[in-house]
């Protein structure tokens, strides 16, 4: 039997990191993802103590985040839980809901700014056609970035995460790194 070694979405054994002035890009393969959808007649659960957010918003509690993806649908994300069956944990927290494992379908790139939120907005201006209000802390939205459909999640003043299809991980990284290089402060 061949010895298999796990690779990140960007094809390496270790997550990719890069620094561009005050901005740091980091691949986050440790984040577990699961989609949650309400079934007809099911009340909205509060998985892990989260109140499921409204459209365009995100919520977080103790390392677990949720953001709206469509009518009665959310993505649940948890730091450090990619190696486990995260969907099973969400399913236990949301009985009667449809839950699907999503961890291996996405690449998560986190962008951290040491220069505050203005640097993140300057970067976002080069990447997406969104009004600044949709990128304020506590907001999440799906948009186009180059030729890709991505989710942009602003969990805090100095943090922005971009979720893209795993099959386009290298293209997403290239777009983010090129824009960060042009934005270098």
What is the predicted pLDDT for the residue at 170? Answer: 98
Query: What is the C-alpha to C-alpha distance for residues 66 and 74, in angstroms, rounded to an integer?
Result: 6
Three-state DSSP state, 102: coil
Residue 133 pLDDT: 84
In angstroms, the CA 178 to CA 172 distance is: 10
How high is the mean pLDDT in each 10-residue block of the chain (185 residues)? 86 96 97 97 95 97 96 97 97 97 97 92 89 91 95 94 97 96 79
For 17-183, CATH number? Answer: 3.30.1360.120
pLDDT tens profile 13-27 = 999 999 999 999 999
What pLDDT does residue 23 have?
96
pLDDT for the residue numbered 30: 97
Q: What pLDDT does 185 receive?
A: 59
Domain boundaries, the chain: 17-183
The DSSP symbol for 53 reads P
Q: What angle do CA 53, 113, 168 make, to 5 degrees?
A: 70
User: In 3-state terms, what secondary structure has residue 154?
Assistant: strand
- In angstroms, the Cα distances linking 167 to 24, 125, 171 are 23, 24, 9
Looking at residue 129, what is its pLDDT? 87
Give me the pLDDT at residue 6, please. Answer: 85
**Pairwise CA distance, residues 32 & 168, whole Å:** 18
């Amino acid at each position: 039997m061949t010895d298999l070694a796990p690779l990140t979405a960007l094809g390496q054994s270790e997550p990719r990191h890069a620094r561009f002035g005050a901005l740091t890009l980091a691949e986050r393969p440790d984040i577990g993802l699961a989609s949650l959808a309400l079934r007809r007649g099911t009340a909205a659960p509060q998985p892990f103590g989260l109140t499921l957010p409204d459209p365009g918003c995100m919520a977080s509690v103790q390392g677990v985040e949720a953001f709206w993806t469509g009518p009665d649908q959310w993505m649940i994300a948890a730091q450090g839980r990619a190696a486990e069956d995260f969907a099973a944990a969400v399913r236990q927290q949301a009985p009667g809901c449809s839950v699907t494992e999503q961890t291996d379908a996405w690449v998560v790139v986190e962008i951290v700014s040491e220069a505050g939120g203005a640097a993140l907005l300057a970067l976002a201006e080069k990447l997406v056609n969104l009004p600044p209000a949709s990128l304020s802390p506590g907001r999440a939205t799906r948009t186009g970035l180059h030729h890709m459909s991505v989710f942009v999640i602003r969990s805090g003043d100095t943090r922005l995460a971009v979720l893209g299809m795993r099959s386009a991980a290298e293209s997403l990284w290239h777009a983010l790194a090129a824009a960060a290089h042009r934005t270098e402060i």
